[in-house]
Structure 1
Amino acid sequence: MDKLEAVQEIMRLSIEINGVEEDRFSAGRKPCVMIHFTGHVTGLAVNIYYSGMDYGKKPDYVFNEYISDTDVAKLMKCIKYLEKLKEKVLEEAA
């Protein structure tokens, strides 16, 4: 997997996690994944709030890298983390 494919996978997983069980999201009982992509410097930030979005607290998990300066292994760590989180969300939704 190259960097572009890894970034696309991070975004896909983030969207899937946010889209599972919408009613749980509105109640604030599910993870909320915030993606920030800064194109002019190839910055990618992924912030995860386990209990839903809360501007009053810091994210429970933070991934923040400049894609041009990082290696695929760091992106893969974020992908693995998101895959495990998605599994957990799907198990709880069942």
Structure 2
Amino acid sequence: RYASGPWVWNLDGYAQTRQFADSANTREESTDGALGEIPGYASWNARSEYDFGNGLTLAAGVKNLLDRQYYTRSTDTNRGKYLGQPRTLYVQTSLSF
């Protein structure tokens, strides 16, 4: 995080080690994707924010900056793997009063 006057810039990263679906750490993937190893991955996000004063801020950012394709597992009772979020651009505003 870097701040200068009304500007704030953030760059953050997230890393996930390899994942397994079962306690036996089955490496071979099943045909439905419910079992097997998912490789680890890392992603980077960037965000810029401007504070207009009087509680009004405007921000824009990019999630998954390098547009890396990755997979993850569900944390609920659904089985299988999910394609991770691709590069995503966003704009955000906030008003505090």
Which has the higher Rg, Structure 1 or Structure 2?
2
| More helix by percentage | 1
More RCO (CA 8 Å, sep 6+): 1
Greater strand content: 2
Q: TM-score, normalised by structure 1?
A: 0.32
